[in-house]
Chain A
Amino acid sequence: MATATGTRLFGAPEKRREDPRFITGRGQYVDDVKLPGMTHAAFVRSPHAHARLKRVDAAPARAVPGVVAVYTALDLKVGALPCGWMLPNIKVPPRPALASGKVRYVGEPVAVVVGETAYAAKDGAEAVRVEYEALPGVSDPRKAHDKGAPQLFDDIPQNQCFYWTIGDKTATEAAFKSAAKVVAQPLRNQRLIPNAIEPRACVASYAPGTGDLTLWVTSQNPHVHRLLMAAFILGIPETKMRVIAPDVGGGFGSKIFVYNEEVVAAWASKALARPVKWTAERRESFLNDAHGRDHVTEVEMAFDRGGKITGLRVKTHANLGAYLSTFAPLIPSYLYGPLLSGVYRIPAIFCEVWGMLTTTAPVDAYRGAGRPEATYLLERTMDRAADDLGVDPAELRRQNLILPFTSGTPYQTPVAFAYDSGNYEPALNRALELSGYAKARREQEEGRKRGRYIGIGVSTYIEACGPAPSAVAGSLGAGAGLWESGQVRVHPTGAVTVYTGSHSHGQGHETTFAQLVADQLGIPMAQVEIVHGDTAQIPFGMGTYGSRSACVGGSAILMSLDKVKAKGRKIAAHLLEANEQDLVFEGGKWSVKGSPGKAKTWGEVSLMAYLAHNLPQGMEPGLEATSFFDPPNFTFPFGAHVAVVEVDAETGQTKLLKYVAVDDVGRVINPMIVDGMVHGGIAQGVGQALWEHGVYSDDGQLLAATMMDYALPKADQLPSYETERTVTPSPVNPLGIKGAGETGTIAATPTVANAVIDALAPFGIAHIDMPLTPDKIWKAVTAARK
């Protein structure tokens, strides 16, 4: 296996090279693409959660000045939007790009109006007359399971899309039979709505001359977009389609998936032989971007007399929405159940999941994807258990931690995963120490006497990152491999272009990958260019999600660097008339051991590779390499977070006073960028704990569909975080990286929720479902006071 050797730039807090262009408004986003003859699309969307489509009358829209065309499902000749992950016995409902026969959620696209301008298209969309016959809707995944609940699809009884289990049922039942104590907690992990700063957008441009289709789209994985759209939806050769995901302003998972709008735009561009652009309005993002979470769960945890966990039983109704988004089945199954061991020794676990269809927007991966749901239930239950057992919650966690395993032997959980490496106690200890845990507990005690309600929340977490071993993914139902590609092309001057299959939409690849390359080759970062997001330039790649870019994508780049370095070494040895083994590569040059004056620089060797005037016998000219890294296992970052809050018991308002995060993400390329990831992640996690809720009425109207209603966290509601790291390198990739993109989101939600509930302990309140809004807290306090 290749190994990372450099020390200088790898690990340095380099400023992000991409930021000046973003900050000064010079980024090139999809909406900045302007083509000659370009038209604009606007969608007519269902106002009903569930209705039969009786008639769509496009005539009034066609009469609106500037309207070019109106299309409905009857016109559109494309395949259904595919689902990229299968589970045993899953029933996949067909998902048309434009609603056909029925609409099944508010915001589902029913027709598209193409106009000369965005305004004309919008005027046209308002003029389309749609007749609906309203049907009852159902937004709750458990109610959707009831006999007699509104049926979304005739051939999917009781709306059950799948039933999935993991773990050992018999062993778990036995554990509960012999338990000294059982702690049970029903809980909900509420629906969240991702909100990247840049809304989704696409520009489709079909060239009738060549039959080439170019699609600019806000995508986290342009190759996956191309594969799914060309092969499954449009039915054209992949070679006739180019997908470009230029600067993309955030994704959080929501831009992984193939959506209706880009399919319709691509088809319309061909039908009209003109480019078609669509940029989501914020309200459309709320309605039609894939949502996250939405679980209704029952947890039971069994303990022995000494406070050791002996078993865990979980039953979850996962809301999938009205149709299966691209990876929807994966999230509440394999990204959820296998995480249920957390960082704890739990001998027996059994988890059942019902994947439910409801008349709501599709639900898919959202930052953390399955792992926050698992962590939340585990960590909330640990706090409940500590309360029931009368022990300190941090202590209960410590007692149950998995012992350190850093020697390369993985830790096998009872739910499929074998953790790569872990040393969990130092992170917990450090988080407690940094937060002044003991002192905070004393202040809490004091405060309570004076009617101040301070709460301290502790949470550990583990997550599975860097998906995945492709063979494992395949055996679990993946419709794709999960390796990553990295191509390194050295130019005659020694400058390097890297083509990576991962995609940056905020992560900072242009900086971190350049650091990696410059570090390995001993050349300045200015000599390194990172290219991503264009299927015409880069080899097939899987894109960015699941904190995989550095550990999988970075490793593929490293493999290619090792290959060009190996060839360079041969050339240098030849030019220096020395033995390859006698050369040392340092500071961008090969020198002969013992005689440092005899040296060839990276640039000289690169030039010779292309001049080819004097190469070793039989060597091909050129200097480039392509590698595909398929990791042997997931990576498992972990950590411990502590939050201190104060609750105003009179109004129910929570103030976050302190937040400490100690994460272990393995080795770190750029600590400043990792801090940024952790900070943003914590903000999202706090948002879920306290404010955010993609709430639907029982019959399926989305009640929080604007920024004025949906409460995203804001900077002035958050304290300055204290972050630190422990470093346990991952043995499953040559860089030792575990991944840092989702840690904050996963840990912060239970940490803050635990803190709030802890603050309310004097009222005997054991649990409140998130978000922990003032009115819910007030209600609970009022009920307790009665």
Chain B
Amino acid sequence: MYPASFDYHTPGSVQEAISLLGKLRDDAKLLAGGHSLIPMMKLRLAQPKHLIDLRKVPGLAGIREDGGSIALGAMTTHWQVESSKLLQAKIPVVSDAAGMIGDPQVRNLGTIGGSLAHADPAADMPAVMIALGVEFVIEGARGRRTVKVDDFFKGLMMTAVGPDEILVEIRVPVPPAGSGAAYLKFPHPASRFAVVGVCAALTVDGKGICTKAGVGVTGAGTKAVRAKGVEAGLAGKALDQAAIEAAAAKAADGVDVQADLQGSAEYKSHLLRVHARRAIEAALGRAKGGK
């Protein structure tokens, strides 16, 4: 309830925020929606001496189309992502997943950048980002750089964003025609975070052959990962039930599944496989033009 005391900064630009980060180093934390950071501060699990609030930094929020991608500003709230007409039309799975985060209060304050930079192992968005093959735009004292999603999630709550860097934008490629994606989660009964979550993004050609498959899983392990075995089981195949089941059976491969109050590693691995199958089925339905 009562965080340790801290100083509060409101930079007016990304550069100012970065120079503050450079100066204050480990004593500082960036503040986005505060819906992961502030609960940790209230429990005194995090005790930053300085908070650098990004909410007054212009240009960090918003959704725009940019060539073949949609660019999501890091400070875009879950609700803005959920309700974006552009996303709903072009990459609806991102809006769908945002709508499954927490509750309306959480979605009105929490941000997509905060969620991805925080990299909670049970967060929803990471699975979707992996499935869609996004890129992250990160800015630091040495300028901007772009990181592919496969190089972004490094470990338990660890990402490619350096201590003196800011995640500024997420670039989501707009999938070609014949694509469909679905995110399915098994919510924690208390927190609503994902006990497991699976996102499948598929592209199928005219003959019903899967030409591209992206599958991301979250929740079960210490970080969100790409389900390479599942993807290999889908790409280049005609997706009949047998193929889907065989592919989904690989959903837990390579995931460091953690047992906790929500279930054993065996159960969570099973949930991953079930959710992978259901997500693939839903994604395929959408790819073939169903809704």
Question: Would A651 and B1 count as touching, CB distance under 8 A?
Answer: no
In the complex, which residue of chain B has the Cβ closest to the Cβ of A708?
A: B191
Chain B residues within 8 Å of A122, by CB: 1-2
Interface centre among B1, B44, B191 (most CB of A within 10 A): B1
With the chains together, A281 CA to B3 CA distance in Å? 12
Residue-wise, chain A 650-679 has the 8 Å CB interface mask toward B (1 for contact) of 111100000000000000000000000000
Does residue B232 face the partner (Cβ distance < 8 Å to A)?
Answer: no
Question: Would A711 and B189 count as touching, CB distance under 8 A?
Answer: yes
Which residues 205-246 of B sit at the A interface, judged by CB distance below 8 A? none
With the chains together, A502 CA to B29 CA distance in Å? 50
Does residue B274 face the partner (Cβ distance < 8 Å to A)?
Answer: yes
Min CB distance A447 to B, Å, is 19
In the complex, which residue of chain A has the Cβ closest to the Cβ of B196?
A: A651
Question: Would B43 and A283 count as touching, CB distance under 8 A?
Answer: yes
Question: Would A118 and B189 count as touching, CB distance under 8 A?
Answer: no
Min CB distance B217 to A, Å, is 15
Question: Would A651 and B190 count as touching, CB distance under 8 A?
Answer: no
* Interface-lining segment among B69-77, B134-142, B260-268: B260-268
Chain A residues within 8 Å of B270, by CB: 778
User: Which residue of the partner chain, among A283, A708, A712, A775, contacts B264 with CB atoms under 8 Å?
Assistant: A775
Known pairs A122-B2, A282-B1, A774-B263; A708 contacts B274 (CB<8 A): no
Interface centre among B2, B43, B44, B189 (most CB of A within 10 A): B189
Chain B residues within 8 Å of A653, by CB: 186
Known pairs A123-B4, A281-B1, A775-B264; A707 contacts B190 (CB<8 A): yes
Question: Would B261 and A651 count as touching, CB distance under 8 A?
Answer: no
Q: Is the interface of B mostly helix, strand, loop or mixed?
A: loop
Does residue B194 face the partner (Cβ distance < 8 Å to A)?
Answer: no
Does residue A126 face the partner (Cβ distance < 8 Å to B)?
Answer: yes
Residue-wise, chain B 269-287 has the 8 Å CB interface mask toward A (1 for contact) of 0110010000000000000
Does residue B5 face the partner (Cβ distance < 8 Å to A)?
Answer: yes
Question: Would B267 and A709 count as touching, CB distance under 8 A?
Answer: no
In the complex, which residue of chain B has the Cβ closest to the Cβ of A693?
A: B261
With the chains together, A717 CA to B2 CA distance in Å? 31
Known pairs A126-B44, A283-B43, A779-B267; A651 contacts B186 (CB<8 A): yes
With the chains together, A773 CA to B271 CA distance in Å? 14
Does residue A619 face the partner (Cβ distance < 8 Å to B)?
Answer: no
Min CB distance A649 to B, Å, is 11
Q: Is the interface of A mostly helix, strand, loop or mixed?
A: loop
Question: Would A775 and B2 count as touching, CB distance under 8 A?
Answer: no
Question: Would B274 and A775 count as touching, CB distance under 8 A?
Answer: no
Min CB distance A115 to B, Å, is 10
Known pairs A282-B1, A774-B263, A775-B264; A651 contacts B191 (CB<8 A): no
In the complex, which residue of chain B has the Cβ closest to the Cβ of A280?
A: B1
User: Which residue of the partner chain, among A42, A651, A695, contacts B274 with CB atoms under 8 Å?
Assistant: A651
Chain B residues within 8 Å of A773, by CB: 189, 262-263
Min CB distance B125 to A, Å, is 18
Known pairs A126-B44, A651-B274, A775-B264; A711 contacts B2 (CB<8 A): no
In the complex, which residue of chain B has the Cβ closest to the Cβ of A118?
A: B2
Which residues 146-194 of B sit at the A interface, judged by CB distance below 8 A? 186, 188-191, 193
Question: Would B267 and A775 count as touching, CB distance under 8 A?
Answer: yes
Question: Would A709 and B261 count as touching, CB distance under 8 A?
Answer: yes
User: Which residue of the partner chain, among B4, B44, B186, B190, contacts A708 with CB atoms under 8 Å?
Assistant: B190
Interface centre among B39, B186, B261 (most CB of A within 10 A): B261
Residue-wise, chain A 273-315 has the 8 Å CB interface mask toward B (1 for contact) of 0000000011100000000000000000000000000000000
Question: Would B261 and A695 count as touching, CB distance under 8 A?
Answer: yes
Of the four ranges (under 10, 10 to 19, 20 to 34, 35 or more), the interface on chain B belongs to: 20 to 34
Known pairs A710-B190, A775-B262; A651 contacts B271 (CB<8 A): yes
Chain A residues within 8 Å of B189, by CB: 690-691, 711, 717, 773
In the complex, which residue of chain B has the Cβ closest to the Cβ of A123?
A: B4
With the chains together, A690 CA to B189 CA distance in Å? 10
Does residue A536 face the partner (Cβ distance < 8 Å to B)?
Answer: no
Question: Would A778 and B267 count as touching, CB distance under 8 A?
Answer: yes
Chain A residues within 8 Å of B263, by CB: 773-775, 778
Does residue A704 face the partner (Cβ distance < 8 Å to B)?
Answer: yes
Min CB distance B198 to A, Å, is 12
Chain B residues within 8 Å of A283, by CB: 43
Residue-wise, chain A 679-717 has the 8 Å CB interface mask toward B (1 for contact) of 000000000001100010000000110111111100001
With the chains together, A691 CA to B262 CA distance in Å? 10
Chain B residues within 8 Å of A717, by CB: 189
Min CB distance A68 to B, Å, is 16
Min CB distance A654 to B, Å, is 11
Which residues 124-152 of A sit at the B interface, judged by CB distance below 8 A? 126
In the complex, which residue of chain A has the Cβ closest to the Cβ of B263?
A: A775
Does residue A232 face the partner (Cβ distance < 8 Å to B)?
Answer: no
Chain A residues within 8 Å of B190, by CB: 691, 704, 707-712
Which residues 1-34 of B sit at the A interface, judged by CB distance below 8 A? 1-2, 4-5
Min CB distance A280 to B, Å, is 9
Min CB distance B190 to A, Å, is 4
Does residue A119 face the partner (Cβ distance < 8 Å to B)?
Answer: yes
In the complex, which residue of chain A has the Cβ closest to the Cβ of B42?
A: A281
Min CB distance B39 to A, Å, is 8
Chain B residues within 8 Å of A710, by CB: 190
With the chains together, A778 CA to B272 CA distance in Å? 14
Min CB distance A717 to B, Å, is 8
Min CB distance B94 to A, Å, is 22
Chain B residues within 8 Å of A651, by CB: 186, 271, 274
In the complex, which residue of chain A has the Cβ closest to the Cβ of B3?
A: A119
User: Which residue of the partner chain, among A42, A118, A119, A779, contacts B5 with CB atoms under 8 Å?
Assistant: A119
Chain A residues within 8 Å of B274, by CB: 650-651
With the chains together, A690 CA to B271 CA distance in Å? 18
With the chains together, A774 CA to B261 CA distance in Å? 11
Min CB distance B90 to A, Å, is 29
Which residues 65-87 of B sit at the A interface, judged by CB distance below 8 A? none
Chain A residues within 8 Å of B1, by CB: 118, 122, 281-282
Chain A residues within 8 Å of B4, by CB: 123, 126
Min CB distance A195 to B, Å, is 11
Min CB distance B268 to A, Å, is 8
With the chains together, A224 CA to B188 CA distance in Å? 40
Chain B residues within 8 Å of A779, by CB: 264, 267
In the complex, which residue of chain B has the Cβ closest to the Cβ of A776?
A: B263
User: Which residue of the partner chain, among A119, A703, A706, A774, contacts B2 with CB atoms under 8 Å?
Assistant: A119
Chain A residues within 8 Å of B261, by CB: 695, 703-704, 709
With the chains together, A448 CA to B188 CA distance in Å? 28
Residue-wise, chain B 83-111 has the 8 Å CB interface mask toward A (1 for contact) of 00000000000000000000000000000
Min CB distance A142 to B, Å, is 21
In the complex, which residue of chain B has the Cβ closest to the Cβ of A126?
A: B44
With the chains together, A17 CA to B283 CA distance in Å? 52
With the chains together, A539 CA to B66 CA distance in Å? 74
Min CB distance B251 to A, Å, is 13
Min CB distance B273 to A, Å, is 10
In the complex, which residue of chain A has the Cβ closest to the Cβ of B193?
A: A708
With the chains together, A176 CA to B290 CA distance in Å? 62
With the chains together, A119 CA to B43 CA distance in Å? 13
Chain B residues within 8 Å of A281, by CB: 1-2
Chain B residues within 8 Å of A703, by CB: 261
Chain A residues within 8 Å of B2, by CB: 42, 118-119, 122, 281
Which residues 57-88 of A sit at the B interface, judged by CB distance below 8 A? none
Min CB distance A64 to B, Å, is 11
Chain A residues within 8 Å of B271, by CB: 651
In the complex, which residue of chain B has the Cβ closest to the Cβ of A65?
A: B5
Q: List 7 A-B contacts (CB under 8 A).
A: A118-B1, A126-B4, A126-B44, A281-B2, A283-B43, A651-B274, A711-B188
Additional pairs, 16, CB under 8 Å, beyond known A712-B190, A774-B263: A42-B2, A122-B1, A123-B5, A126-B4, A126-B44, A651-B271, A651-B274, A652-B267, A691-B189, A691-B190, A704-B190, A706-B43, A708-B190, A708-B191, A711-B188, A711-B190
Instruction: Rank and list the top 7 A-B pairs by shortest CB-CB distance, nearest first.
Output: A775-B263, A711-B189, A711-B190, A281-B1, A708-B191, A122-B2, A775-B267
